[in-house]
Amino acid sequence: MYISLEVYSFVCLINPKNDSISDNQFTITNLQCIVNEFKAKESKIKMRQADLEEALKQEKTRNSELHHTVDQISSSLEKERTRCEKHRVELQEALKKQITTLEENNKWTLSLQKLQGDRGANSRLKEAIKKEKANFSRASKKIQSQQKELSEKNWL
């Protein structure tokens, strides 16, 4: 069998082209698979990004609410501290007045004791002294109670 040189040349040219086309088709198929994989990954990434953005939005909202709550609590605590400080000062002033009153009562009691002369006056003075001592005792207990309350307030 004899093949012409022209046919032989043509066959030689076609075979490499067929191999090249086949190789190119294989490469195109592989590239299409890779592109499809990237599209699937991109879709998953976009879904994950959307989920993360929603979570971030919720976290920012929660953070904002917490900051608002902290501000409210801080304000309330500052008001309470101011109120306690005012009450402490009022208690100290009341305590000073009671101490002054007790000191004056004590002076009067001592003066009355010096002035007693006769028995009638003496018994009246003793009765007045008893009353003053009772008053002094009540006032002293009240002062101690207020001092205790004041020291407890100061610990706050």
Q: What is the pTM of this model?
A: 0.43
Residue 143 has pLDDT above 90, yes or no: no
Residue 10: inside a domain, yes or no? no
Residue 90: inside a domain, yes or no? yes
Residue 150: inside a domain, yes or no? yes
Quick one: which H or E segment has residue 88?
A: helix 5-115
Boundaries of domain holding 34: 16-155
Token pair of 20, please? 């090249």
Model confidence pLDDT, tens digit, residues 80-108: 999 999 999 999 999 999 989 888 988 88
Residue 97: inside a domain, yes or no? yes
Token pair of 137, please? 């005792």
Rounded Cα gap, residues 26 and 49, in angstroms: 34
Residue 38: inside a domain, yes or no? yes
Residue 147: inside a domain, yes or no? yes
Average pLDDT, the chain: 83
Residue 5: inside a domain, yes or no? no
CB proximity list for 121: less than 8 A, separation 6 or greater: 115
CB 136 within 8 A of CB 106: yes
Model confidence pLDDT, tens digit, residues 25-71: 888 998 999 999 999 999 999 999 999 999 999 999 999 999 999 99
Residue 13 has pLDDT above 60, yes or no: no
Quick one: which of 101, 82, 112 has its CA closest to 142?
Answer: 101
Tell me the chain's radius of gyration from C-alpha atoms: 51
Residue 36: inside a domain, yes or no? yes
Token pair of 53, please? 């953005």
pLDDT at 22: 79
Task: Provide the number of structural domains found in the chain.
Answer: 1
DSSP 8-class letter at 118:
S
Count CA within 13 A, CB hemisphere, residue 8.
Answer: 5
